[in-house]
Amino acid sequence: MATESPQTWFITGCSSGFGEGFVRQLRAAGDNVIATGRNAETKLAHLKDTGAVIMDLDVTEPLAEIAEKAKEAWSVFGGVDIVVNNAGAIISGALEELTQEELETGIKTNFYGPLNVTKAFLPYLRERGSGTLLYIGSIAGWQGNPGAISYTSPKFAIAGAVECLAKELAVVAPAIKLLLVEPGYFHTAAFTKLYHVPPRLPAYAEFNAASAAFEERVNGHQPGDVEKGVQRMIELAKGTGMAEGKTLPLRVPLGSDAVAGFRAKCEEGLKTCREWEEMAKSTDKSTGLRA
């Protein structure tokens, strides 16, 4: 029986968590992996024994530099089948205490980063006529939480961008698949790696104490299992396992808490539509287009 040819994956943010999980599971399955991250020689040293190709990449670099990395990556195995946009940064702090630089760091890493990686690979994928773009979003792309503006805002934005891109590529390159997976809380190092904005305003002292208490309560008790989550994301990208034979939506929740959050958000939206539909429709012109 013929064996399936190995696929080639390009993955950002591989130092720990989902990124590291992808590298280990994919290499164990025999796929080719180009694992990337900042200061890769040291921060990804623990992945060298997997046989993955290690490449230095900071997703906040200018597009021209990311494009050079994409060109280099494409040449390693003669192409890339699946691009995983996983790199991210979490900055915790209320809006009034965030500096412009802190706010922009979240946006550069969590929004511009995946978009520029996408722009760097799209010419190659379009020319070949196939490929998958996988984005690791978050439940934070559906619901806002206090102290998470620098993280939640770009997660909302990347969800909107991916929806736009999916409709663009449906016209110009319909064989390219897009998938936005939006996990809830998984047991990663996210809470230990997040950057806390220094206290700057006395008015937020109680707020900051409550935020710190929440993080301490959640850290180590997240319901999501990273290994299982990575396995499901691989199945979604490959159309195997629990995704086999199914038509995939563009956005897929991951984790029981993500499902609960998505459902609550959708029900809230439907409730708003029911209660305010008459007012909303009262603003239409009598001769305008109808939905």
- Cα pseudo-dihedral 39, 41, 43, 49, rounded to 10: 150
Query: What's the one-letter identity of residue 14?
Result: C
| Cα–Cα dist 170/155, whole Å | 23
What's phi and psi for 260, nearest 5 deg?
A: -60, -40
Residue 49 is classified by DSSP as G
Per-residue pLDDT of the chain in tens (291 residues, 90 and over written 9) = 334 789 999 999 999 999 999 999 999 999 999 999 999 999 999 999 999 999 999 999 999 999 999 999 999 999 999 999 999 998 989 999 999 999 999 999 999 999 999 999 999 999 999 999 999 999 889 988 888 999 999 999 999 999 999 999 999 999 999 999 999 988 877 767 778 888 899 999 999 998 888 888 877 778 789 999 999 999 999 999 999 999 999 999 999 999 999 999 999 999 999 999 999 999 998 876 666
**Over the stretch 94-138, which tens digit does the pLDDT of each residue have?**
999 999 999 999 999 999 999 999 999 999 999 999 999 999 999
Write the DSSP assignment of 60-95 as a string of letters: TS-HHHHHHHHHHHHHHTT--SEEEE-----EEB-G
CATH number for the segment(s) 8-256? 3.40.50.720
The residues spanned by each domain of the chain are 8-256
Q: What pTM value is reported for the model?
A: 0.93
Concatenating the DSSP letter of every residue in 114-167 gives: HHHHHHHHHHHHHHHT-EEEEEE--GGGT---TTBHHHHHHHHHHHHHHHHHHH
